[in-house]
Structure 1
């Protein structure tokens, strides 16, 4: 039986990934800081991944066939994981934000993110710095793992939508549009790629059990703009054009993922029209 360690996996789509791996008959262990219990039938280790000695003590002599790292945000965290974890393959949940410096008008392929120089001296433990440099932190984390000896895959996840979204970004739209308030957008809001919470859980569980390496984009077909999102909530939403502080998911650059590599590897994505209204209704129910 394949042994899988999931770092994080306690909320939102992460819990869904753990349940899918368990239900597929894998020997699953979750490691997190203990704020949320693991699903039934899953082993649970408690440690802070930033505490190298504590992480090593919690793991003991355990080794795994695959590690799925849901919560790696910096090269410092990646370096600790490389030193401590014993595994035959490493999969990291990355983000569409690694493309934040790309300027293009065609779907973005994985090769558009070059190997990033790693700087461990930056203030990665500062929450404000990390929030402002989210894409850079993920790029450098990818680079640390890619330079190691363990086969490595990076899943670059599109913007995730669904009723369980703790970030509140889709709820921002639902609440404003339902109240008749304006949605603040750029003068020419550009499209981006999205994926439902259920589908990204499916994809990450699938990616964990496959054997490919390298970066792979994950997102549903059918790019959306801020206008499209608002239109899924009401027939005639109201908009206000702003130069700054636009609503979340209003982008002033084209940010659509090319998902052909994932398709070639064998995964079939849905289309956003298949689930967008369901996601909106689930946000309403969760309010």
Structure 2
């Protein structure tokens, strides 16, 4: 893996992936809409594409070849099909940033709980997939297209919730700020359980999958999961303040993790492949202390 294309790469762990690749001496091209500034200067090549405009991808990639493409910005099966067709015979290996949301709500989901090789694909654009249910369907169908309809070496990385000091969404930070500000936080189900991964470990795993010969879906992340109630008790313990939890959600108080059910993953396969990740509880404790200040 010497020559790499990243669809995206200008936000969160995508930026970390670019820096990792550059540090390892790889030639990196990032393909974006060109609307988000990046810190890479002349160390990367840039393509301007629109994921909703197939011709822009065809035109920008004409006459070029890469060893690996990392797809960080696909939000519909139509986009997956367009990118795959535009990159046919230009790329050997396709690393798709997927999500644990491809699974039905529940805990300890193993990779076999969603089979992209048999999922029936309906091709629609990103605007036709609203909300969490839409996101779930879009990622499922995108995986399905890549595994069923292309000849790439495909890896679907089903990330859990990504957290880190560089998390621009501030989702975990919001919970700490609500407690410290004595503000109510809307959590409809304190028993709902979720899995997490640190942003720098997400980037490192993406990098490793580019080097690997593994294909198929895989669940990376911290071992185990945590309930919303347990997370709030952690925050209370570290801040020494009492959380004001309500099950009456409003746009102002709703937890970003107030999902319709549990979503957590089983990481046995990734451990069998030889990869390990930070301890979940130590990770959360360190970030809560960081956000507390």
Which TM-score applies when normalising by structure 1?
Answer: 0.89
Cα offset for 1:102? 4.2
Whole-Å Cα distance in 2 between the matches of residues 284 and 111 of structure 1?
39
Cα offset for 1:281? 4.4
Aligned to 1:18: 18
Q: Is the 1:9–1:30 contact (alpha carbons within 8 Å) kept by the matching residues of 2? A: yes
1:173-192 maps to which residues of 2 (within 5 A)?
A: 173-192=175-194
1:160-239 maps to which residues of 2 (within 5 A)?
A: 160-235=162-237, 236-239=241-244
Q: Is the 1:163–1:279 contact (alpha carbons within 8 Å) kept by the matching residues of 2? A: yes
Whole-Å Cα distance in 2 between the matches of residues 187 and 79 of structure 1?
37
Cα offset for 1:203? 1.3
Aligned to 1:34: 34
Would you say 1:90 and 2:90 are equivalent positions? no
Contiguous gaps of at least 5 residues in structure 2: none
Of Structure 1 and Structure 2, the greater strand share is in 2
Aligned to 1:137: 138
Across the two proteins, how many residue pairs are aligned to each other? 280
Cα offset for 1:241? 4.5
Cα offset for 1:160? 0.9
Aligned to 2:122: 119
Q: Is the 1:225–1:249 contact (alpha carbons within 8 Å) kept by the matching residues of 2? A: no
Which TM-score applies when normalising by structure 2?
Answer: 0.87
